[in-house]
C-alpha cells in the first residue's frame, strides 16, 4: 500500500482530470438527498454527503439487468462490462460490496455481477457527514472494509490517498500527488475512528450475542407480530439495503413479439408474493404468509442466517432502511435492541 | 467458443464469461396429456448428449418470452439419454409450455440441487410415499430402484391421488400393480363409479402392509401431507434421520442467489430439494 497526499487546492484538478478521461460514478446532490450518479463536473462530486438513497451496488447489480437476449429460439448472454470508477464510497458500503462479491461468487459464480464488479475501480472516502439514522459504529465491528482499490480521507489541508491495489495506484497519475507521510496517516486514522463514535443510533450488544439471541427468538410470535404490526409489506427496506441481493427473473417481449429479453429485477422478501407458489386451480401456498413472518425473515437474514458465510452480520449500519420505511418500523437497532432485552 | 459449464458462447472484451443463466435447448420426443392439467414430456438435449443427473434433482425449464420455472426430474438417469418432466398448468409459463408438442423445443438449466442420497439408500428397505404431483420427482427414484432392484432390499410404494382422474403415469401404475419387485399400494381421496381400490387419505395405506422400523422413507406431496405421514412413521419407530423429504418452493435462479427458496440458512435449490428430515425438522418454515 502506498500513501499519497494532495493539497486541497489541487483536488479539484485531480477530479477534473479523472472525469475527463474515465467514467466516474460518485455521490451527487439530488434535491435534498444524494445519489450515486455519473460525475461530469468536479463540483458535482459531493464527498460531504451523509448517505445516498440507493447503495452503490446498483453499479454491478443494476435494478434491471439483462441476462439473456433471444430471438425466436436463438439466444445469447448479455455480459458486457464497462470500465468505471466508483468514487467516494463510504466504508460501510465497501463492507456491503465485499459481502455481495462473496455471495455472487460462492458455489455458482454469477458473472453477470462479477464481470461488472471486476471492471470497476473503487475509491472509498471517509464519512464527512454522519446521516441521522446511522449505526455503523456499533454493527459488525469485527468485519473490516476490504475489496476497495483506494481510500481517500479528507485531512485539514488536503487529502490522503491510500492506494491499496494496482487499480488504485493507476489513478495517482491524474493528480498532483506527493508522497503521504506517517503524520498524514495518523491524522486520517483519527478522523476515521472519530466518525464511528458520532452515530446517532447504536446496537447495544456484539455480533455473536445478537445472532444467538435473535435466532432463539424465532418462535416468539408476539415479538414479531408487534414489530411488524404497521408494516405495509412495501419492500422499501429491502430496496435501499446495500446487502440485499434478492432478485426476480422475468421475460419480456420486444415490440416485434419475436425477440425479447430475460432480465433480473431487484426483488424484496418483505413483499407478499415473494415466497408464494401456485398449486393450480387457483390454489396457492405462501411459505411466509404474514407480514410478521417476512419481517422476521429480514431481521434473521441480517443478523444471523448469513453470518457464517460473511464472518459477521449482513448489515453494515447505513441506516437507509430506517429512513426509507414509511411506518418507521424497519430500524434494525430498535428491533434488535428490543429483542436483546427480552427475558 | 463455449465453456463446459453451460451453453454460453460469450466473448466480450477478449474474455470468456460463463453465464449461469444461459439455458440448453431440449427437444420434445414425446408429449402426453397426463391428466386434465398435467402434461408429461420426454425430452432429449438438442445436441443429443446424455444429461448427467441424480434422482431428485431439479431443472429450471423455460420458454423464451414466457419465463422459467423449477421442475423436478421425473425419470431415472438409468434410462436412455432422455429425461422426463411433468408440468402442471398453473400460470403463464406452465400454460405456454403445456401447449408444446412432439418436435418442439423448450429450454433447460441444470440439473440443480441435491437429490436422493443413493449410497444411504442402497441395501436398505425403502418406502416411497407420494401424494398427487409428488409422484413426479419421486418417479426418478422409483425407476432407479426398479432398474437396479438387486441393490435395494424390500421396496414399498404408497401413492395417493385426489380422485382416479388425477392419477398419472398409467403405464407405470399398471406395471407396479403387477410387479413382484415393488409392494405397491394406492388410494384416492374420493372414488368414482369405476374405482375399486382404497378410498381415503394416504395414511390409510399404512394398515395394508408391514413397514420395518429400519426402512428408509421418502416423502413428497402437498405440505399438509408431511405432518400426518410423519405421525404414522413415529408410531412404527422409523428414525427421523432415515426420513427424506422432497420440498417445493418458489425458485427463480436455481443457483442459490435469488433468495426466494430460502428456509433459514438453507436454499432449497442448492441444499435441497431433498433433505433428511432430521436436518430440517427443527428448521422453522420448512414444513
- Distance separating alpha carbons of residues A156 and B26, to the nearest angstrom: 65
**Could you report the per-residue pLDDT of B148-196, keeping only the tens digit for each?**
999 999 999 999 999 999 999 999 999 999 999 999 999 999 999 899 9
Average pLDDT over residues A193-203: 96
Best of B8, B9, B17 to disrupt the A interface by mutation (most A CBs within 10 Å)?
Answer: B17
Grid cell locating B54: 441424480
Helices A291-300, A207-216: inter-axial angle, 10-degree rounding: 150
pLDDT interval class at B214 (50, 70, 90): very high
Contact A218 B20 (CB under 8 A): no
pLDDT of residue B15: 57
At residue A161, the 3 state secondary structure works out as strand
DSSP assignment letter at B278: H
Instruction: Please give the model's pTM, rounded to 2 decimal places.
Output: 0.93
* A276 interfaces chain B, CB cutoff of 8 Å: yes
With the C-alpha atoms ordered A157, A132, A334, A310, is the resulting torsion angle positive or negative? negative
**In chain A, % of residues over pLDDT 90:** 95
Residue A205 near chain B (CB below 8 Å) = no
The shortest C-alpha distance from A262 to chain B (Å) reads 7
Residue A13 has a pLDDT of 97
Q: Which of B17, B257, B285 sits opposite A288 (nearest CB)?
A: B285
β partners of residue B83: B43
Confidence (pLDDT) at A33: 97
Whether A249 has its CB under 8 Å from any CB of chain B: the answer is yes
Give residue B13's pLDDT band: very low, low, confident or very high (50, 70, 90).
Answer: very low
Lookup: cell for B34: 397426463
Nearest CB partner across the interface for B65, out of A107, A251, A300: A251
- All three cell numbers of A196, joined, read 464511528
Cell for A255? 415490440
Is residue B45's pLDDT more than 60?
yes
Strand order in the sheet with A64-71: A74-77, A64-71, A259-266, A247-253
- State how far the Cα of B28 lies from the Cα of B102, in Å rounded to an integer: 5
The mean-pLDDT minimum among A128-132, A205-209, A278-282 falls in: A278-282
Q: Which residues of A touch B3 (CB under 8 A)?
A: none
| A342 close contact with B: CB closer than 8 A | no
Which domains, from first to last, does chain B contain?
Answer: 24-112 (2.40.30.10), 118-246 (3.40.50.80)
- pLDDT for residue A60 is more than 80: yes
Which of B70, B250, B254, B273 is best to mutate for the A interface (most A CBs within 10 A)?
B250
Which residues 6+ apart lie within 8 Å of A37 measured at CB?
A25, A26, A28, A30
Dist. CA B280–CA B114, nearest whole Å: 14
Q: Positive or negative CA dihedral for B271, B274, B276, B282?
A: positive
pLDDT attached to residue B17: 84
Distances (CA, A) of A64 to A25, A49, A249, B169: 18, 26, 10, 41
Query: What pLDDT, on a 0 to 100 scale, did the predictor assign at position B9?
Result: 46
Residue pair B77/B55 in contact (Cβ under 8 Å)? The answer is yes
Q: Contact, B131 vs B59, CB < 8 A?
A: no
Backbone angles phi, psi at B23, to 5 degrees: -85, 175
User: Would an 8 Å CB–CB cutoff place B67 in contact with chain A?
Assistant: yes
Is the Cβ pair A77, B9 closer than 8 Å? yes
pLDDT number for residue B283? 82
B90 to A278: CB separation less than 8 angstroms, yes or no: yes
Among A142-146, B2-6, B192-196, B222-226, which stretch is predicted with the lowest mean pLDDT? B2-6
- The confidence score (pLDDT) of residue B286 equals 80
The answer to whether residue B264 scores a pLDDT higher than 90 is no
**Start-to-end C-alpha separation, chain B:** 44
Helix (H, G, I), strand (E, B) or coil at A15: helix
What's the number of CA atoms in the CB half-sphere (13 Å) around residue B61? 29
Note whether B250 contacts A: Cβ–Cβ < 8 A: yes
pLDDT value at A142 more than 90: yes
Q: What percentage of chain B reaches a pLDDT higher than 90?
A: 85
Would you say residue B2 has pLDDT above 70? no
Contact B267, A306 (CB under 8 A): no
Instruction: For residues A240-262, give the mean pLDDT.
Output: 97
Q: What is the Cα A67 distance to its own chain's centre?
A: 22
Q: Residue B186 in contact with residue B159, Cβ under 8 Å? A: yes
Q: Which of B232, B226, B53, B215 is nearest to B120 (CA)?
A: B215
Min CA distance, A79 vs chain B (Å)?
7
What is the end-to-end Cα distance of chain A in Å, rounded? 48
Q: How far apart, in whole angstroms, are the C-alpha atoms of residue A88 and residue B55?
A: 50
pLDDT-based confidence at residue B8 (cuts at 50, 70, 90): very low
Cα–Cα distances (Å) from B68 to B4, B43, B62, B235, B252, in that order, read: 22, 17, 4, 41, 7
CB A313 within 8 A of CB A207: yes
Nearest CA in chain B to A288: B285
Q: Are strands A2-7 and B243-246 parallel, antiparallel or unpaired?
A: unpaired
Which residues lie closer than 8 Å to A10 by C-beta, 6 or more apart?
A158, A175, A176
Is B20 an 8 Å CB contact of chain A? yes
Amino acid at each position: 500500500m502506498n500513501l499519497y497526499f494532495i493539497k486541497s487546492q489541487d483536488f479539484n484538478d485531480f477530479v477534473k482530470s479523472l472525469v475527463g478521461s474515465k467514467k466516474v460514478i460518485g455521490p451527487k446532490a439530488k434535491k435534498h438527498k444524494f445519489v450515486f450518479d455519473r460525475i461530469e463536473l468536479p463540483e458535482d462530486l459531493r464527498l460531504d454527503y451523509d448517505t445516498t438513497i440507493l447503495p452503490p451496488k446498483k453499479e454491478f447489480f443494476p435494478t434491471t439487468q439483462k441476462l439473456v437476449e433471444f430471438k425466436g429460439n436463438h439466444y445469447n448472454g448479455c455480459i458486457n462490462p464497462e470500465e468505471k470508477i466508483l468514487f467516494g464510497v463510504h466504508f460501510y458500503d465497501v463492507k456491503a460490496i465485499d459481502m455481495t462479491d462473496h455471495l455472487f461468487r460462492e458455489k455458482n459464480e454469477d458473472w453477470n455481477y462479477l464481470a461488472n464488479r471486476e471492471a470497476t475501480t473503487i475509491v472509498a472516502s471517509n464519512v464527512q457527514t454522519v446521516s441521522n439514522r446511522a449505526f455503523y459504529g456499533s454493527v459488525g465491528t469485527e468485519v473490516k472494509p476490504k475489496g476497495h482499490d483506494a481510500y481517500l480521507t479528507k485531512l485539514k489541508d488536503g487529502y490522503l490517498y491510500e492506494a491499496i491495489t494496482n487499480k488504485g495506484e493507476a489513478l495517482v497519475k491524474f493528480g498532483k500527488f506527493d508522497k503521504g507521510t506517517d503524520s498524514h496517516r495518523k491524522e486520517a486514522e483519527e478522523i476515521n475512528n472519530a466518525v464511528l463514535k458520532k452515530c446517532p443510533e447504536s446496537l447495544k450488544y456484539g455480533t455473536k450475542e445478537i445472532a444467538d439471541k435473535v435466532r432463539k427468538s424465532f418462535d416468539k410470535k408476539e415479538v414479531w407480530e408487534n414489530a411488524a404490526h404497521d408494516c405495509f409489506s412495501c419492500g422499501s427496506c429491502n430496496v435501499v439495503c446495500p446487502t440485499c441481493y434478492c432478485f426476480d427473473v422475468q421475460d419480456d417481449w420486444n415490440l416485434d413479439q419475436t425477440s425479447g429479453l430475460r432480465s433480473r429485477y431487484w426483488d424484496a422478501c418483505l413483499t407478499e408474493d415473494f415466497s408464494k407458489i401456485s398449486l393450480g386451480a387457483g390454489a396457492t401456498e405462501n411459505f411466509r404468509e404474514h407480514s410478521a413472518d417476512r419481517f422476521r425473515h429480514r431481521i434473521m437474514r441480517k443478523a444471523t442466517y448469513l453470518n457464517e458465510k460473511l464472518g459477521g452480520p449482513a448489515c453494515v449500519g447505513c441506516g437507509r432502511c430506517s429512513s426509507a420505511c414509511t411506518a418507521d418500523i424497519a430500524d434494525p437497532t430498535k428491533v434488535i435492541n428490543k429483542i436483546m432485552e427480552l427475558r | 467458443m463455449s465453456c463446459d459449464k453451460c451453453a454460453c458462447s460469450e466473448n466480450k472484451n477478449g474474455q470468456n464469461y460463463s453465464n449461469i443463466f444461459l439455458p440448453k435447448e431440449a427437444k420434445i420426443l414425446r408429449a402426453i396429456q397426463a391428466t386434465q392439467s398435467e402434461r408429461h414430456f420426454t425430452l432429449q438435449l438438442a445436441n443429443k448428449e446424455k444429461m448427467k443427473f441424480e434422482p431428485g434433482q431439479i431443472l429450471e425449464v423455460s420458454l423464451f418470452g414466457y419465463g422459467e420455472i423449477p421442475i423436478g426430474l421425473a425419470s431415472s438417469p438409468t434410462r436412455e439419454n432422455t429425461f422426463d418432466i411433468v408440468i402442471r398448468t398453473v400460470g403463464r409459463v406452465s400454460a405456454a409450455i403445456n401447449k408444446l408438442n412432439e418436435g418442439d423445443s423448450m429450454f433447460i438449466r441444470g440439473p440443480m440441487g441435491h437429490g436422493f442420497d443413493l449410497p444411504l439408500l442402497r441395501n436398505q428397505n425403502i418406502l416411497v410415499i407420494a401424494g398427487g404431483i409428488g409422484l413426479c420427482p419421486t418417479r426418478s427414484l422409483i425407476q432407479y430402484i426398479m432398474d437396479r432392484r438387486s441393490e435395494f432390499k424390500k421396496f414399498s410404494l404408497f401413492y395417493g391421488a385426489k380422485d382416479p382422474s388425477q392419477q398419472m403415469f398409467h403405464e407405470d401404475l399398471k406395471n407396479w400393480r403387477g410387479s413382484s419387485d415393488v409392494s405397491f399400494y394406492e388410494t384416492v381421496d374420493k372414488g368414482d363409479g369405476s374405482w375399486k381400490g382404497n378410498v381415503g387419505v394416504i395414511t390409510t395405506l399404512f394398515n395394508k402392509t408391514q413397514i420395518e422400523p429400519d426402512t428408509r422413507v421418502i416423502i413428497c406431496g402437498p405440505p399438509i401431507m408431511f405432518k400426518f405421514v410423519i405421525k404414522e412413521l413415529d408410531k412404527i419407530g422409523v428414525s427421523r434421520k432415515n426420513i427424506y423429504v422432497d420440498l417445493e418452493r418458489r425458485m427463480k435462479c436455481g443457483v442459490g442467489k435469488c433468495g426466494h427458496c430460502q428456509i433459514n440458512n438453507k436454499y432449497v435449490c442448492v441444499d435441497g430439494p431433498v433433505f433428511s428430515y432430521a436436518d430440517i425438522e427443527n428448521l422453522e418454515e420448512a414444513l
